[in-house]
């Protein structure tokens, strides 16, 4: 059985006070769920979030990291630094990082390998552009992205990776893939994982859908057979929406 995982991606939002207030407001209301509840926050919030979520079932993630442990990489944060504050997850290869910050499938793979080495679970984002969808390249695109992300990863560690299928045209646009379309792509991603790592591993890997998930569509999405969770941007910023998402 795969434990469902609902992860908020706060992107570049919230001050420390806003983040702490958020957790204090939601923590009791997300306590009785079988879902794994995660908040992926800007670096400046992570230490305080780890403190304020102690004794709750909320896990904390970063939104990016470098693949080197230390060095002359001005402005970057290393896996060692995230490990020091016991961050649970790290988003890798979000489409905004690919689009605005030159993230490539090669750097995604290096980061996945490093995150696993440091005991941080990667949430690896894959997904097609609108043009790729319209020209029926979705499967080719996600296959390549998933295969590259998993290159040289020890098969025993693949179950620690969460894959987030996020069609780029659905992120922050209010457009969602239909739950059936999302499920079709996600079951295809599971086939790709099976071809790389074997069926058994593929049955353990959790694959989320992301792209304009809201309290009013989360249940339909989560009812699909292969969808194990959601990566949620905009709606995760609002405490009452986050509570509804986690208790779908």
Residues 158-197 vs ligand PEP: string with x where CB under 6 A?
A: --------x----xx-------------------------
List Cβ neighbours of 21 (8 Å cut-off, separation of 6 or more). Answer: none
Cβ atoms of 125 and 166 closer than 8 Å: yes
Is 234 annotated as contributing to ligand binding?
A: yes
Is 169 annotated as contributing to ligand binding?
A: no
Q: How far apart are CA 103 and CA 105, in angstroms?
A: 7
Query: Of these, 227, 231, 243, 245, which contacts ligand PEP (CB under 6 A)?
Result: 231
Closer residue to ligand PEP (CB): 9 or 53: 9
94 is catalytic: yes
Least CB distance to ligand PEP at residue 123 (A): 9
Catalytic residue ranges: 94, 166
> Binding site for substrate: which residues?
9-11, 172, 212, 233-234
Binding stretches for ligand PEP (CB under 6 A): 9, 166, 171-172, 210-213, 231-234
> Binding site: which residues?
9-11, 172, 212, 233-234
């Amino acid at each position: 059985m795969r434990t469902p995982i609902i992860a908020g991606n706060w992107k570049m939002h919230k001050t420390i006070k806003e983040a702490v207030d958020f957790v204090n407001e939601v923590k009791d209301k997300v306590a009785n769920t079988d879902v794994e509840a995660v908040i992926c926050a800007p670096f400046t919030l992570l230490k305080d979030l780890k403190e304020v979520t102690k004794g709750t079932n909320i896990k904390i993630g970063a939104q990016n990291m470098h693949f080197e442990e230390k060095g002359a990489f001005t402005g970057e944060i290393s896996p060692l630094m995230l490990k020091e504050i016991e961050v649970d997850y790290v988003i890798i290869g979000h489409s905004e990082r690919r689009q605005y910050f030159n993230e490539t499938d090669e750097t995604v793979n290096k980061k996945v390998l490093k995150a696993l080495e440091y005991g941080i679970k990667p949430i690896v984002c894959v997904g097609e552009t609108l043009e790729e969808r319209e020209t029926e390249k979705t499967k080719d695109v996600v296959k390549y992205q998933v295969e590259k992300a998993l290159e040289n990863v020890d098969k025993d560690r693949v179950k620690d990776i969460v894959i987030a299928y996020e069609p780029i045209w659905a992120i922050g646009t209010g457009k969602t893939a239909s739950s059936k379309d999302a499920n079709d792509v996600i079951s295809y991603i599971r086939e790709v994982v099976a071809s790389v790592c074997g069926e058994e591993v593929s049955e353990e890997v959790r694959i989320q859908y992301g792209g304009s998930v809201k309290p009013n569509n989360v249940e339909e999405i989560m009812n699909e057979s292969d969808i194990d969770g959601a990566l949620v941007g905009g709606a995760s910023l609002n405490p009452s929406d986050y509570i509804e998402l986690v208790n779908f």
